[in-house]
Structure 1
Amino acid sequence: MPVAADPVPRPLDHLALLGDRSAPALVDRTGMLDHAGLEDAVARLAAGLRARGLRPGDRLGSWMAKNRLACLLPLAAARAGLIHVPVNPQLKHHQVAHILSDSGARLLIAGTGRAATLEPGDRPEDCALAIEEEEGPALLSGDERLPPSAADPSELAAILYTSGSTGRPKGVMLSHANLWLGAISVAHYLGLEPDDRTLAVLPLSFDYGQNQLLSTWAAGGCVHPLDYLTPRDVVRAVARHGITTLAGVPPLWIQLAEADWPAEAIAPLRRLTNTGGRMSLSLVRRLRGLFPDARLFSMYGLTEAFRSTYLDPALIDAHPDSIGKAIPFAEILVVRPDGSIADDDEPGELVHAGPLVAQGYWRDAERTALRFRPAPPASIHGGTAVWSGDTVARDAAGLLRFIGRDDEMIKVSGNRISPTEIEEAAIASGATSEAVAVGLPDERQGQAILLYARPSGAEADTLLRDWFRRNLPSFMHPARIVWRAELPRNANGKLDRAALRAEAAALKEEDA
């Protein structure tokens, strides 16, 4: 790869300058861009965004399919001095409205279909709308070009929205340095090369989804973006383009492991990477049997620090339940409640320090103070660290094992979901006045949502399921609803969530 594991960050848009100018950088339905074309397209798009009246520091929202414009925006927005706010294409209009309002976005670029779902008031008055099909071609093909930026790497480059354990999604602030070092780190430990071809199937609003682009370009390689409908679409794309690198979340890997893979699709794959939840032992074994020559990378991360650990593929057969060791630029500590370092095999909280740590939550000092705190005294980097809330244990060889989450977050198919958001949605439907959401272990999705609710009428079940279907993406739908005349309460009169979680665990055991 053209860039070694060098800890000195640069402006994010400089990633467009790293590859061999004549080598392919992006292949999509409209054709191929080589690395010279990538740099030119980023320069034109950056100028086009400025021509829309946007100024450095403005937030730019994007809510669209995984097309050329969407792939170029992370670099072009950075070159124009803007703060990119990519929105998950699966979100519904009211969720998008919250992100636009909270971020203070000045422009939203969206496809015609998605833009049509926006209702009056969803978009702030000072947030303009650009329809991708109408304005995208002009943004990409203007005559003006912006030169590579001279941004301070500490400046903000993006806000990625992720659910919190309470309330609505919060925006994680990422600097040029965070994103640059994340790209270099992943390119380095995956061993990406200029002849690598990455099939980008993860959403670009997802931290690793965006990194699919950035790490590949850092290595001088080529990205093939794909919005797929079925696992078969992924298999065909791998064979058609000679894909060498494929990233996924456990539910997708389960589907792909069950798919029919012809020899021409298996042969080019050099590495498989997993994020968004731990793979089961049976899944690891299926993938190792199906792709014996591909290196399988198991990884752990959180948006607040991008990525924390990875497991050397040479160790996955012997340690399939391990999340490995720290990635380049990350310092990982296992910490007791008093801040001291836990002994080998002693459970403790995973704390991440170093330059990959994000800048906090956008306009949310209270929640920032809870998650971003001074590093433990034993930290080499010091400064601010991310206290993950996740419990892990370190063995004598330094390998980490994930034990559980201390907070109540639910993680479905790699999507972090706030129980409060599910409960508020259920109450908003009118079908219930009280609800408690709980995550249950699920082999295919990582976790599934169990919702306890008190019905408000005879048709509550039909009303609630229909409301979820119309208003929330599928990964936020309860897999099971348990209706109760009354929900349990604790001594303070609050809903007894601990009792319901214990009951949910018992239900899962009975189902098993």
Structure 2
Amino acid sequence: MSINCIRALIEDANLSHPDKIAIKHDDKSITYKELFAKVNQVAFYLNELDLPKGSRVGIYSKKGIDQVIAILAILSTNYVLVPLTRLLKSEQVEYIINDCDIRCIITDRVKLESIEEIAFDGHIISYETTHKDIPSFEEIFKYYNKPYTYEVNGHDNAVITYSFGLTGTPKGIVISHRNLIDSARVVSQYLNLEEDDVLSGVLIFNLDYGLNQIFCSLYKRATLALHRFILPGDFFNHLINDKVTVVALMPVTITSMFDEDEHRLPSPELLSNIKTMTSSGGNVTSKMVQKVKKYFTNVDFYSMHGLTEAFRSTYLDPSQINIRPESIGKAIPDVELYVINEEGKECKSREVGELIHRGGYIYKGFWNAPEETSQRFKSIQILKDVINLEGQLRDEIVVATGDYVYKDEEGYFYFVSRRDDMIKTRGFRVSPLEIESVVRKNLPMIEQCAIFSIPNSEIEEEIVMVYSARSEIAPKEITFELKKHLASYMIPSKIIYKKSLPLVPSDRNKINKEELKAELLDKVN
């Protein structure tokens, strides 16, 4: 068995801590011994499907203990996990199914209807028993009790996660088993995680930040307490009742959890158990930090910066959060970071340039997307004017992140913008092209459409739609149609009608979004 795989952690935890609670969710819990047994049962069943090595298996379901079992079971086979957030609409799921040729989907009773809508012709497994022709976890746990063993190779593909890329359609990033174990090791190290910790599983498990909570729990033999954030009160009850000590959040969740009248928030004494809080997936503001410090008086707050193409680049040490709250910190262990200008030269202090990631945690590339892969995964020769490449033994790969940053005189990094016009809202990356294509396809009465964002301190960026048509259309009518085809976080919060849209002087086929944005911001200010 490779030591560089999550499967090894599951086996070791079963041997060393069989009776310890591995996962809890509401009033349910499961020990490491029970988790190991159920993971083996599902993995055994998946193996019996006899799909080709490397076949993709999707998970499209609600959060729960069964979902974690499904994730770990797939990672215990030679198949590849494709997590699908339940926020996606059926046509978006269908696109991903076709893009990476998913052969099997694990789901729940609610999402089963969505899968049936798209006429998926692969294997379907449901957590609950729903139909005699669809196998369920309930049946697998009842009938599959044979021993299961499997040798996982650390260099094999383990996961493909999808986020919205440069072309306006979701692009899958391929992550190896070695990547998963390395990310668990490094986070456990710099967060000082311990066996007695209880990690909050409030993040969704469609991207690496959320999945990492599962793997860190396994790595330290800690406990993972699952929770789905709906209301701040329920979230605080989760932190208190589950005795959480470590909580990973998106910035939008930090804003949302304080979106209550002050008298409804718990006293700091009730939250004193929480020693570590992390934030990634967006900018942290001074206001967020002040709120966190007011109610979580014992917490070490880590602001972090991750990439689509590599697990993580930076973290800000908690000692610096009050000094420089806007900073994304310094490189995590085993990573070197450089800021270069358009000529390939290293930027001076406070000069803005592109962030280049060298070293550990780099993923394998984009699935079936050589152009996108070549845009981000570069030869180390890109740094030839920055570092000494004498005696290079091979053409090392680095990540040209597309993030524009600067570094201060003490070596702390600050995020400025992205190369492309991707929108980051509520912890998600959204492509304007994706929304625009849905408008073109489903709202033919709209002649021109521009999607862009304006700053919003609560959700980082607010999506705006400006359109032209023969006559103005009720915003509710547009929103109603978009909600049929797009996830909720992709719906524009502002919809503005104009008789005609400005064009870029140098390209009369391109809408001038910068002019529209400036016009809107002038009105707001």
Q: Same fold (TM over 0.5)?
A: yes
Write the mapping of 1:454-465 to structure 2, written as runs, cut at 5 A. 454-455=468-469, 459=473, 461-465=475-479
Task: Give 1:311 shift.
Answer: 0.4
Contact 2:7 2:152 in 1 (8 A): no
Q: TM-score, normalised by structure 2?
A: 0.90
Within the candidate set 255, 265, 276, 1:271 is matched to 276
Write the mapping of 1:98-113 to structure 2, written as runs, cut at 5 A. 98-113=95-110
Structure 2: runs of 5 or more not aligned: 130-135
Which amino acid is the alignment partner of residue 354 of structure 1?
G
Contact 2:268 2:295 in 1 (8 A): no
Q: 1: distance between equivalents of 2:361 and 2:178?
A: 8
Deviations for 1:228-268, whole angstroms, at most 9, x for unmatched residues? Answer: 32111110011111100111111110122344124454121
Q: 2: distance between equivalents of 1:42 and 1:398?
A: 45
Aligned residue number for residue 132 of structure 2: none
Q: 2: distance between equivalents of 1:261 and 1:137?
A: 39
Q: What RMSD over aligned residues (CA atoms) do the two structures have, in Å?
A: 2.1
Aligned residue number for residue 86 of structure 1: 83
| Secondary structure, counterpart of 2:287 in structure 1 | helix
Single out whichever of 394-403 and 58-67 deviates more from structure 2: 394-403
Task: Give 1:379 shift.
Answer: 8.0
Q: 1:268 to 1:423 in 2, by over 3 A?
A: same
Q: 2: distance between equivalents of 1:67 and 1:166?
A: 33
Is 1:32 equivalent to 2:32 in the alignment?
no
Structure 1: runs of 5 or more not aligned: 1-7
Q: 2: distance between equivalents of 1:314 and 1:361?
A: 36
Q: 1: distance between equivalents of 2:125 and 2:172?
A: 22
Deviations for 1:69-98, whole angstroms, at most 9, x for unmatched residues? Answer: 211233221211110000011000000000
Write the mapping of 1:402-421 to structure 2, written as runs, cut at 5 A. 402-421=415-434
Deviations for 1:276-301, whole angstroms, at most 9, x for unmatched residues? Answer: 10111111112112212101110011
Which amino acid is the alignment partner of residue 271 of structure 2?
I
Is 1:425 equivalent to 2:438 in the alignment?
yes
Runs of 4+ in 1 over 4 A off after TM superposition: 379-382, 491-495
Single out whichever of 91-100 and 466-475 deviates more from structure 2: 466-475
| Secondary structure, counterpart of 1:373 in structure 2 | strand
Within the candidate set 38, 46, 49, 1:49 is matched to 46
Contact 2:57 2:104 in 1 (8 A): yes
Is 1:365 equivalent to 2:370 in the alignment?
yes
Is 1:133 equivalent to 2:128 in the alignment?
yes
Which amino acid is the alignment partner of residue 438 of structure 1?
F
Deviations for 1:425-452, whole angstroms, at most 9, x for unmatched residues? Answer: 1222224132111011111111010111
Is 1:343 equivalent to 2:348 in the alignment?
yes
Within the candidate set 115, 119, 125, 2:112 is matched to 115
Aligned residue number for residue 399 of structure 2: 386
Task: Give 1:124 shift.
Answer: 4.6
Deviations for 1:324-355, whole angstroms, at most 9, x for unmatched residues? Answer: 11112322221222323222222111111223
Contact 2:502 2:515 in 1 (8 A): no
Q: 1:373 to 1:408 in 2, by over 3 A?
A: same
Aligned residue number for residue 3 of structure 1: none
Aligned residue number for residue 145 of structure 2: 143
Task: Give 1:56 shift.
Answer: 2.5
| Secondary structure, counterpart of 1:322 in structure 2 | coil
Which amino acid is the alignment partner of residue 471 of structure 1?
H
Task: Give 1:65 shift.
Answer: 0.7
Q: 1:494 to 1:28 in 2, by over 3 A?
A: same
Within the candidate set 460, 474, 481, 2:495 is matched to 481
| Secondary structure, counterpart of 2:214 in structure 1 | helix
Aligned residue number for residue 12 of structure 1: 6
Is 1:447 equivalent to 2:461 in the alignment?
yes
Task: Give 1:117 shift.
Answer: 2.5
| Secondary structure, counterpart of 1:234 in structure 2 | helix
Q: 1: distance between equivalents of 2:66 and 2:94?
A: 22
Q: 1:486 to 1:190 in 2, by over 3 A?
A: same
Task: Give 1:397 shift.
Answer: 1.9
Task: Give 1:42 shift.
Answer: 2.3
Deviations for 1:293-318, whole angstroms, at most 9, x for unmatched residues? Answer: 10111001112112111000011111
Deviations for 1:99-147, whole angstroms, at most 9, x for unmatched residues? Answer: 1110100001122222213465x3453x222223120223445202422
Contact 1:392 1:404 in 2 (8 A): yes
Aligned residue number for residue 161 of structure 2: 160
Task: Give 1:151 shift.
Answer: 2.5
Which amino acid is the alignment partner of residue 397 of structure 2?
T
Q: 1:82 to 1:205 in 2, by over 3 A?
A: same
Q: 1:164 to 1:315 in 2, by over 3 A?
A: same
Aligned residue number for residue 280 of structure 1: 285
Q: 2: distance between equivalents of 1:70 and 1:358?
A: 24
Contact 1:80 1:146 in 2 (8 A): no
Write the mapping of 1:203-352 to structure 2, written as runs, cut at 5 A. 203-259=204-260, 260-263=265-268, 265-352=270-357
Contact 1:391 1:403 in 2 (8 A): yes
Q: 2: distance between equivalents of 1:509 and 1:492?
A: 24
| Secondary structure, counterpart of 1:79 in structure 2 | coil
Which amino acid is the alignment partner of residue 130 of structure 1?
I
Q: 1: distance between equivalents of 2:137 and 2:308?
A: 29
Contact 1:156 1:174 in 2 (8 A): yes
Which amino acid is the alignment partner of residue 208 of structure 2?
D
Deviations for 1:355-390, whole angstroms, at most 9, x for unmatched residues? Answer: 311111101111111111113232889611221111
Contact 2:41 2:140 in 1 (8 A): yes
Q: 1:294 to 1:428 in 2, by over 3 A?
A: same
Q: Between the two proteins, what is the percent identity of the paired residues?
A: 27
Task: Give 1:486 shift.
Answer: 1.7
Q: 2: distance between equivalents of 1:290 and 1:29?
A: 23
Is 1:174 equivalent to 2:181 in the alignment?
no
Aligned residue number for residue 133 of structure 2: none
Q: 1: distance between equivalents of 2:508 and 2:140?
A: 53
Aligned residue number for residue 5 of structure 1: none
Aligned residue number for residue 58 of structure 2: 61
Aligned residue number for residue 524 of structure 2: 511
Contact 2:77 2:152 in 1 (8 A): no
Q: 2: distance between equivalents of 1:464 and 1:231?
A: 30
Single out whichever of 460-469 and 220-229 deviates more from structure 2: 460-469
Which amino acid is the alignment partner of residue 129 of structure 1?
I
Aligned residue number for residue 4 of structure 1: none
Contact 1:236 1:265 in 2 (8 A): no
| Secondary structure, counterpart of 1:352 in structure 2 | strand
Is 1:188 equivalent to 2:189 in the alignment?
yes
